[in-house]
Chains A and B, each alone.
Chain A
Amino acid sequence: AQKVTQAQTEISVVEKEDVTLDCVYETRDTTYYLFWYKQPPSGELVFLIRRNSFDEQNEISGRYSWNFQKSTSSFNFTITASQVVDSAVYFCALSDPSGYSTLTFGKGTMLLVSP
């Protein structure tokens, strides 16, 4: 069975601080996909990144960066110089590519960025 753990329930930072959201996953599959989604107060799920299990390169997109470490089954997400607009719930998710596989989400981390 697949499982995603986001140990941080809530994080509060002050604007311009860097913040890292942790994600640890469990799967027996050798091929799988990892994701991060952002859910602002308005409720929609905003796709941020997808990473497949064979690509362990870290990725940077503007103020966002992701650290995929297969050895520790972690896929952490860092926001550099956080802004108030980053305040949201962030979900890490996992899927396996067999057939019409669904996404397994972590419980989410609520990030509150104060001015």
Chain B
Amino acid sequence: AAGVIQSPRHLIKEKRETATLKCYPIPRHDTVYWYQQGPGQDPQFLISFYEKMQSDKGSIPDRFSAQQFSDYHSELNMSSLELGDSALYFCASSLGEAGGRGEQFFGPGTRLTVL
């Protein structure tokens, strides 16, 4: 079965650079969630989209923005990168409100390292 695809899997950037992470949800899934997991931390919710509209917002820094496109894939744009942005970024997808029942399927994550 098709899973959530995230690209790139690994990314190395310098401070103050920008980064774009991509997420391709499971086919027919219309909801995407982004989570950030710092070293030794638990995943923290950043933002979610349903049908290309932002559905919920968590602890996402103002330097970050995200959107969901007409094909339901999503991109997380991160600017003015800081050392503290080094983390594993997970994308999860679900079908509509099924995400609220926990039917969120996680991608493998993108490991971002900021030097």
A residues apposed to B, CB below 8 Å: 33, 35, 43-45, 47, 50, 52, 91, 93, 95-108
Contact = CB atoms under 8 A, between A and B. Distances in A.
21 contacts: A33-B102, A43-B109, A43-B111, A45-B109, A47-B105, A95-B100, A95-B101, A97-B100, A98-B100, A99-B97, A100-B31, A100-B48, A100-B50, A100-B97, A102-B48, A102-B58, A103-B35, A103-B45, A103-B102, A103-B104, A105-B44
Interface of B: 31, 33, 35, 41-45, 48, 50, 55-56, 58, 88, 90, 94, 97, 99-106, 108-109, 111
Given A45-B43, A99-B97, A102-B58, 15 more contacts: A45-B90, A95-B102, A96-B100, A97-B97, A99-B56, A99-B100, A100-B31, A100-B50, A100-B56, A100-B99, A100-B100, A101-B99, A102-B33, A103-B43, A103-B102
A103 B94 CA distance: 12
Contact of B56 (A44, A47, A52, A102): A102
A99 B102 contact: no
B106 to A, nearest CB: 5
